[in-house]
Structure 1
């Protein structure tokens, strides 16, 4: 059964729920039962052996858990003689038997169903007289990995979650990362390490602080498996949404990962992996979502721990917390002396330029660039995400830049690299083809400037090219007679006094001499002006679009005049036909 047919089948369960459940509530039933059926099928081949082992160890008074895991061949087990199909044999007691079956799973799986609040949904289905029909529907589909591999199962989860998100009218910030965007990020993350990753027995860690349903972690694992079957990627993650967390944990469980590494909770206020550092990291934090709920905890860490904590460089405005995740990931980088780290994060346009010199956003950019952490930024096409059509950017950061990248940043404009989808999915109307992903990966890997159809698509800059000094330009206060007012006391005695109403600021590129700029740009227009150097601030911004703007000269007046005459001629002809 292919992914589309499978997801259509699972979606058909909604027909049974209609009337007793609101559309926005369908996911509360369908998602946990999809997971339950998957686990049920995975354990089916070893069911008899596991039960026999359980009885034997129970008689001997031995802790059966390690033996059951070995018999099951998985990182989880179930000790109930029941499964979903045998539940169908006792319609009158399906509620009690279903509870008994779920309770017999190993602790990690029970936690998954607790996060789904599965108990409450079973009770609700039973009261509505739907429990037997709904469970029976799921017993009709084979979700064993031989029939539906992990990749397909991931696609099923993704499609179902996306549909339920749309029905729940979730905000644009609660978006979902398309697979081709994750594939691009994974390519960019690993490309410089292909040689190291191809060594037999290599073990690497990867972390996602906004793990969602685990898509980024899964695709990273698939990439490494394709390139080196003997390599092992140990995954870590944290997720705030209970249902997404439950699905991510279920997915990792089936793939043999240690699900203790997937933590529930808010990454910003309660780091689930304190003191841990990782080789690779990926994240797609929510766009434009305020962090007011965790403001107290974040500010406390910023003020009391400074650079020993995660948020030392600065804090962005409360209306958008995405840059806090950027700082969080930086804090999780291995020291370069221990091999260093690389990570990719998806951000909207705001972190590129929001906030003037001295603001939290600018100070974060300053920290990133002055510490030479930014390798590249890739501008993606609009309409790439399911619930938002805004422009998005992939930032790649590393504290182990290869020599030829040191002190430099590459900007890649992939805004024109897309193909129209056969069918739009929410706001997602465009997608990256394999050829587009390969081209972006090539541009990044070769670290070259390039053009396409006469327009730049890849440019390389020095870190300092994004810096500037904001200087304060003062002009003297004058009395009614037009004479300059001089200070009468202290250090200001005899000096011209600044007129606050005439005060202005200028942004001077960091690579340019301030005095030379002042003489050229200011003094010709205000010969009495001076700079108050005590007020100078350093800022950083990355005006991405400006660096790829290509000026198109307007048409000549002669061409416009000819076109106007042609239009007037057509109008006169039409009028004559009407009047005639």
Structure 2
């Protein structure tokens, strides 16, 4: 069993023993997450605890900056605790366990205390006291060794995420914690173009995650850079909206000796906590299909700024903010060269037709040559969802061989089955699979699993195709009844209505007019003594008309053929050469052979972009021959007859 799995199992066993009868399972996290963070901090400070207390002796509160820095130097960390208690020492006084635990928590340095307060643990301390559980819970947690020598920072990060997953089975839609192998793959795809630079001595780079969660993605980025270059430095930044995961991430930063102030709290879409800062690497797994209505006003206000803000390319439907996060992340890349990795569902690939917010965002990204590659991942690799997911890799500084190109990699079959499922996670990506995928990306390989396209291949013109309005006109009782339902006719006084009806009834009901102008001339003669406004004439024509393919096209006063709204259609014309040439060729080859009287409206043309990932890797499988299917059916019929015969024989013997 891996170290983090062992730790999680110990904590889970304790939770089930101590909390089951007094807490709903959904509330376990309110106790377990802050206690695990506290125990981790406690374990880290354990060796230097007495030295810190000796140094603190005689100091007066509040401590000044120099005193705090001195105590940090004694603890060997970016934080300290000046309470005389530890988890182990809390057990010496069972009667006052609550008061002493509060004293212990308040003894942390301000930066650690600020983190702990995000858990709002005070309410749970009181609840545990009232239930008589506090001493037992602290006692069991004190027995779990969370010292970095027992479980390293990476493994501890796994443990936190597994605890969150385990106690969050009803996690909100879209909040899917990222499997480690997916993070590893995404970071490798980010670093792969920069490996030479990242190997240089003294290199300093920055990485930012706008939906940082517990910080697992940033931790993997740091780990991989350390493997590439032990002398390199990666400064980590992020923002998180959930107070619990934010606190865990901040604690992890403290424990790594990094600056937790680089992690901001709040909604990234409505309030960029790192406004004005840009980064070498931007990486995230934002919520899928997440409703962003709470940030709607702020987002729409910023969108009005155009590209002076983050959302100048467009605003998607409020039901899915994925493309807002992607725009934000592009904005956060360093202007002189940054790389971006993001995990998304399939929706951002194709949702929204030409002219929609989603399509306009894709148009902006592709026409600015930001999209480098998209990797289709296996399904059932996330803990809380089985949907298809994709890693997008973007950059604002493509190498020459990739300029104007987008690589699609189908890695949907690059997985192994897990021995035991974890929630929805039944598959995982092995190291060998990661090597295969990164190899195809690095080599810009073209084969059955990797294809390279021109940017233009994903663009199209959406064209409105019209067909002429053709109607016949005549006067029948049925059509006169329709006239009485027309709004313009109903507004008339009853006397005038009767005059018009009488005039129309004077027309030859046997005559069917196939030309509108001819009918209007006959109509004017029939109601010559009555003033007919344009609105009233339109109502009469609408009521007395029926579509008729044999009729003449309707032509307006300017001699322009009028389109039939009921026959209006739309064509998506792939981009190839130039707009007019592409559309004209499409009309000649695809439309006019079927409807020779069709035309397109030049003013209706919209440019759209989508990325039909699955279609590009679809392989047709021929249907089985009918004779083979028939033979199989006959074989099944023979088997059924034999089974029934045996059943009847057994019944007869029993009788």
TM-score by length of 1: 0.94
Contact kept, 8 Å, 1:180 with 1:431, in 2: the verdict is yes
Post-superposition Cα deviations, 1:471-509, rounded to whole Å, max 9, x if no partner, equal 111112224101122221xxxx11111121111110000
Q: For structure 1, which segment, 569-578 or 547-556, has the greater mean C-alpha deviation from structure 2 after superposition?
A: 569-578
The residue that corresponds to 2:601 in the other structure is 532
Match of 2:391 among 354, 372, 394: 394
1:22 aligns with 2:18: no
Contact kept, 8 Å, 2:288 with 2:322, in 1: the verdict is yes
Match of 2:151 among 144, 148, 152: 148
Contact kept, 8 Å, 1:381 with 1:417, in 2: the verdict is yes
For the residues of structure 2 that align with 1:516 and 1:6, how far apart are their CA atoms? 66
How far is 1:367 from its partner? 0.7
1:203 aligns with 2:204: yes
1:477 aligns with 2:469: yes
For the residues of structure 2 that align with 1:124 and 1:150, how far apart are their CA atoms? 31
- Partner SS, residue 165 of structure 1: coil
1:502 aligns with 2:502: no
Post-superposition Cα deviations, 1:302-334, rounded to whole Å, max 9, x if no partner, equal 12x111111110111111111111111011011
The residue that corresponds to 1:511 in the other structure is 576
For the residues of structure 2 that align with 1:152 and 1:238, how far apart are their CA atoms? 22
Equivalences for 1:413-452 in 2 at 5 Å? 413-450=410-447
Post-superposition Cα deviations, 1:240-292, rounded to whole Å, max 9, x if no partner, equal 11111111111111001100011111111111110110100111111112111
The residue that corresponds to 2:539 in the other structure is none
Q: For structure 1, which segment, 568-577 or 393-402, has the greater mean C-alpha deviation from structure 2 after superposition?
A: 568-577
For the residues of structure 2 that align with 1:182 and 1:471, how far apart are their CA atoms? 41
The residue that corresponds to 2:238 in the other structure is 237
For structure 1, list consecutive stretches of 5 or more residues without a partner in the other structure: 451-455
Post-superposition Cα deviations, 1:348-393, rounded to whole Å, max 9, x if no partner, equal 0111111100011111111110000001111111111111101001
1:316 aligns with 2:313: no
How far is 1:419 from its partner? 0.7
How far is 1:4 from its partner? 2.3
Post-superposition Cα deviations, 1:154-208, rounded to whole Å, max 9, x if no partner, equal 1211211110111xx1234121111111011011111111111111111111011
For structure 2, list consecutive stretches of 5 or more residues without a partner in the other structure: 473-513, 515-550, 650-655
For the residues of structure 2 that align with 1:510 and 1:90, how far apart are their CA atoms? 77
Contact kept, 8 Å, 2:72 with 2:78, in 1: the verdict is yes
The residue that corresponds to 1:96 in the other structure is 99
Q: For structure 1, which segment, 568-577 or 230-239, has the greater mean C-alpha deviation from structure 2 after superposition?
A: 568-577
For the residues of structure 1 that align with 2:599 and 2:202, how far apart are their CA atoms? 65
How far is 1:457 from its partner? 0.8
Post-superposition Cα deviations, 1:43-90, rounded to whole Å, max 9, x if no partner, equal 122222222333365499864112122222211111222222222222
Q: For structure 1, which segment, 280-289 or 566-575, has the greater mean C-alpha deviation from structure 2 after superposition?
A: 566-575
The residue that corresponds to 2:628 in the other structure is 559
Contact kept, 8 Å, 1:171 with 1:387, in 2: the verdict is no
Contact kept, 8 Å, 2:173 with 2:290, in 1: the verdict is no
For the residues of structure 1 that align with 2:172 and 2:59, how far apart are their CA atoms? 51
For the residues of structure 1 that align with 2:391 and 2:369, how far apart are their CA atoms? 17
The residue that corresponds to 1:220 in the other structure is 221
- Partner SS, residue 9 of structure 1: helix
The residue that corresponds to 1:357 in the other structure is 354
For the residues of structure 2 that align with 1:87 and 1:319, how far apart are their CA atoms? 49
Aligned CA distance change for structure 1 residues 85 and 564 (closer, same or farther; 3 Å): closer
- Partner SS, residue 82 of structure 1: coil
- Partner SS, residue 264 of structure 2: strand
The residue that corresponds to 2:163 in the other structure is 160
1:125 aligns with 2:128: yes
Q: For structure 1, which segment, 204-213 or 288-297, has the greater mean C-alpha deviation from structure 2 after superposition?
A: 288-297
Aligned CA distance change for structure 1 residues 351 and 55 (closer, same or farther; 3 Å): same
How far is 1:568 from its partner? 4.6
Contact kept, 8 Å, 1:80 with 1:101, in 2: the verdict is yes
The residue that corresponds to 1:346 in the other structure is 343
The residue that corresponds to 2:454 in the other structure is 462
- Partner SS, residue 345 of structure 1: strand
1:37 aligns with 2:39: yes
1:106 aligns with 2:109: yes
For the residues of structure 2 that align with 1:394 and 1:30, how far apart are their CA atoms? 32
How far is 1:569 from its partner? 4.6
Q: For structure 1, which segment, 57-66 or 387-396, has the greater mean C-alpha deviation from structure 2 after superposition?
A: 57-66
Aligned length: 565
1:307 aligns with 2:307: yes
1:374 aligns with 2:371: yes
The residue that corresponds to 1:453 in the other structure is none
TM-score by length of 2: 0.84
For the residues of structure 2 that align with 1:60 and 1:207, how far apart are their CA atoms? 34
For the residues of structure 2 that align with 1:536 and 1:426, how far apart are their CA atoms? 47
- Partner SS, residue 449 of structure 2: strand
For the residues of structure 1 that align with 2:206 and 2:147, how far apart are their CA atoms? 28
Contact kept, 8 Å, 2:29 with 2:167, in 1: the verdict is yes
Aligned CA distance change for structure 1 residues 529 and 53 (closer, same or farther; 3 Å): same
For the residues of structure 2 that align with 1:579 and 1:33, how far apart are their CA atoms? 68
Aligned CA distance change for structure 1 residues 173 and 60 (closer, same or farther; 3 Å): closer
Contact kept, 8 Å, 1:13 with 1:30, in 2: the verdict is no
For the residues of structure 1 that align with 2:283 and 2:202, how far apart are their CA atoms? 23
Contact kept, 8 Å, 1:377 with 1:396, in 2: the verdict is yes
For the residues of structure 2 that align with 1:554 and 1:18, how far apart are their CA atoms? 55
Task: Indicate the RMSD between aligned Cα atoms, in angstroms.
Answer: 1.8
- Partner SS, residue 397 of structure 1: strand
For the pair shown, which has the larger CA radius of gyration, 1 or 2? 2
Contact kept, 8 Å, 2:367 with 2:455, in 1: the verdict is yes
Post-superposition Cα deviations, 1:5-52, rounded to whole Å, max 9, x if no partner, equal 221111122111121111111111111111111111111222222223
How far is 1:555 from its partner? 2.6
Contact kept, 8 Å, 2:176 with 2:385, in 1: the verdict is yes
How far is 1:561 from its partner? 4.2
- Partner SS, residue 560 of structure 2: coil
For the residues of structure 1 that align with 2:589 and 2:149, how far apart are their CA atoms? 73
Aligned CA distance change for structure 1 residues 61 and 75 (closer, same or farther; 3 Å): closer
